[in-house]
Amino acid sequence: MTRPFCIQPWNLFAPGGVDFPLTFSPNRFTFRAMACLPLILISPSIEKRGVEFRDLSVSLSVKYDLSVTQAGGIPVTAPTTTDRALLAEIVRRVDGVLLTGGDDINPNLYASNLPRDVRKTVGMTPDGGGRDLRELILLDEVFRQRKPLLAICRGHQLLNIALGGSLVADIRRQVPGALNHQRMDKAGEMVHEAPLTAGSLLAKITGKRVLGVNSSHHQAVLEPAGPLTAVARTRDGIVEAMEWKPEATRRMPFLLSVQFHPERLAEKNAEHRAIFRSFTRSCERK
């Protein structure tokens, strides 16, 4: 029987050292399987005051990491740099990119003349828009290097901006009769439904014609940018998911953006787990 890995923290050569067994027994098959798992770059949020010296801090819900690891990927958190050369090299080394949710996007990137009552509802990232720039560079490199992309909530909106589209800056003020899309009290529950376009990638992944989703946002995609198409909308018209138009699907091996948060639903719902599994499979090295 193969002995599990053990860690002896004080002295590797001291007799009687304390062993901490890990969860697997090493063999060449284990290491080979681990080496084949795709690396997924995850773009984090920025917190205004972190726990260490109250500095600006990187913030990322563990649910993203868990969803990626359970789907067979290895999550890697993106650094806070905006250096294009460095970000290009990082994208080159990973197998796919996941853009996450979080703060509002700088409205100057999509609408410089918002009404005052709408503008006051829109915030900025704590790093003064650094996250916006970083993720726009990442998107540019994803397109250039043809890497798989999954964009969630804020990432879904930024993808639309990157390709020339715009946003609804505040749903409650700009969409008459809209549903309540700010259900933060039920972030891990399905609160409304989104019919899916038949034959779309999302419909094939989930096996659904109507997808139950959560909803925790006050902004939304206005209309999909030129090469994108909406494949899910709620009954008030809000775009819940986008993919390439059929004629553009050869641009990249995988592209899916969703307004909802599948990482918060994946634990209990197979159709949302399937989103991450399909993404990580597209990232596997051939």
User: Distance between CA 100 and CA 102 in Å, rounded?
Assistant: 7
Fold of 29-283: Rossmann fold (3.40.50)
User: Distance between CA 148 and CA 283 in Å, rounded?
Assistant: 6
Mean pLDDT computed over 5-23: 48
At 6 the pLDDT is: 47
For residue 70, the surrounding DSSP H or E stretch is helix 62-70
- Ordered by start, the domain boundaries in the chain are 29-283
286: pLDDT strictly greater than 80: no
Mean pLDDT computed over 263-279: 97
- 133, 172, 239, 251 from 243: Cα distances, Å: 23, 26, 11, 11
Half-sphere exposure of 106 (CA within 13 A, CB side): 15
- Residue holding tokens 């409650």? 172
Alpha-carbon dihedral 139, 183, 166, 97, rounded to 10 degrees: 10
- pLDDT band at residue 32 using 50, 70 and 90 as cut-offs: low
- Tokens read off for 184: 């933060």
At 22 the pLDDT is: 52
- pLDDT band at residue 72 using 50, 70 and 90 as cut-offs: very high
At 60 the pLDDT is: 94
- 45, 81, 137, 224, 264 from 144: Cα distances, Å: 24, 19, 10, 20, 30
Q: In a 3-state reduction of DSSP, which class is residue 96?
A: strand
**pTM metric for this prediction:** 0.88
| pLDDT tens, position by position, 162-186 | 999 999 988 888 888 878 777 888 8
Closest of 194, 209, 200 to residue 246, by C-alpha: 200
User: Distance between CA 130 and CA 127 in Å, rounded?
Assistant: 5
Mean pLDDT computed over 107-130: 90
At 24 the pLDDT is: 53
216 DSSP assignment: B
